[in-house]
Amino acid sequence: MISRSNVRRKRILVVEDNPGDVALMREAIVEGEFHYHLSIAKNGDNAISYLRNLADDTCSSLPDLILLDLNLPGKNGHEVLQEIKEDSRMKLIPVVILSSSDNERDVSRSYELNANSHVRKPGNLMEFANVLKVIETFWLKTAELP
Amino acid sequence: MKNSLSARPVEILLVEDNPGDILLTREALKDSKIINCLHVVKNGVEALEFLRKEGSFSEAVRPDLILLDLNLPKKDGREVLGEIKEDEKLKTIPVVVMTTSRAEADVLKSYELHANSYVSKPLDFEEFISVVNNIEHFWFSIVTLPPRE
């Protein structure tokens, strides 16, 4: 498993096809307190391949956290979540669903599929930056990661 | 930042036997901008009775979030976690393991058992309060908690 070193920069995988939202996230990192590696996958298949390749590679480590949008081309976010959580090599990576949906069914489904949390994506940059900051503070500073 | 449950208090179940930690958690949660109700049980058996509304807990409210210590009397926190996450009716309730252990084995085991997150309890008083504030800031203000069933 990943070695837990506080010195090593944390890695986040974002699964998101909307370039505007990706830009917002990059912006938030640049201005934010935390420095981490950000990898972007634009769809579920890319995300899974990316994770599987890392899992097979002896010199690389899997991401510390996954931010996963529900609304993706091809496989939707819940399907991707399910695949991640069913793969023993990657199922322990915390997954935060970051979605514009807070439809009750979608939220329930996220938790049923063992998402670590479901967070609603806000519409504007400032709120988005704030949400990312709270996510970072909790997951990269407060929580112990596997 | 409102969550979808802003109309009523966030119900939290704290599973913790250490009186000092119970007190600190209670104090820290009083500062939250989000109105919350803290329910406390002090051992693993009571935790499950509370969640299943059994015995003296027949009127217990369903919590929106569980803060769970691992080292508990009567039934260990790891077992409690396992039972919660295997119970169809209870598994969607987010569980934040909050415990003194930082042992990698405990962290891994907790995530394997589908803990939603794992936080180690600081020994320092002020840091403890700060950690609880970070927990409630993320889980009450930012997260969309599962709908009540």
Better pLDDT: A7 or B29: B29
Domain for residue A109, yes or no? Answer: yes
CA–CA gap between residue A38 and residue A24 (Å, rounded): 12
A23 in contact with B, Cβ within 8 Å: no
What local confidence, expressed as pLDDT, does residue A31 receive? Answer: 65
Domain for residue A8, yes or no? Answer: no
Length of chain A: 146
Contact A80, A114 (CB under 8 A): no
A103 in contact with B, Cβ within 8 Å: no
Q: Is B15 exposed, middle or buried (0-12, 13-18, 19+ CB in 10 A)?
A: buried
Domain for residue A5, yes or no? Answer: no
CATH of the domain at A105: 3.40.50.2300
Range B49-66 average pLDDT? 96
Range A118-142 average pLDDT? 90
Range A127-138 average pLDDT? 90
Closest by CA position to B97, among listed B72, B119, B79: B119
Q: Smallest Cβ distance to A102: which of B1, B107, B144?
A: B144
Residue-wise pLDDT tens digits, B31-48: 888 999 999 999 999 999
Residues of the domain holding A23: 17-140
A128 in contact with B, Cβ within 8 Å: no
Better pLDDT: A143 or A123: A143
Looking at the 3D structure of chain A, how many domains does it have? 1
What local confidence, expressed as pLDDT, does residue A115 receive? Answer: 97
DSSP state of A81: H
Range A125-132 average pLDDT? 88
Domain for residue A101, yes or no? Answer: yes
Residue-wise pLDDT tens digits, A74-121: 999 999 999 999 999 999 999 999 999 889 999 999 999 999 999 999
Q: Where are the domains of chain B?
A: 10-142
Reply yes or no on whether the pLDDT at A5 is more than 60: no
Domain for residue A118, yes or no? Answer: yes
Domain for residue A9, yes or no? Answer: no
Range B99-109 average pLDDT? 95
CATH superfamily of B10-142: Response regulator (3.40.50.2300)
CB contact under 8 A, B108 and A119: no
Q: Residues of A with CB below 8 A from B144's CB? A: 102, 107, 118-120
The token pair at B91 is 């598994």
In the predicted model, what is the mean pLDDT of chain B? 93
B104 in contact with A, Cβ within 8 Å: yes
CA–CA gap between residue A34 and residue A24 (Å, rounded): 15
What local confidence, expressed as pLDDT, does residue A32 receive? Answer: 66
CB contact under 8 A, A134 and B102: no
Residue-wise pLDDT tens digits, A31-74: 666 678 889 999 999 999 999 999 988 778 899 999 999 999 99
Domain for residue A88, yes or no? Answer: yes
Range A16-42 average pLDDT? 83
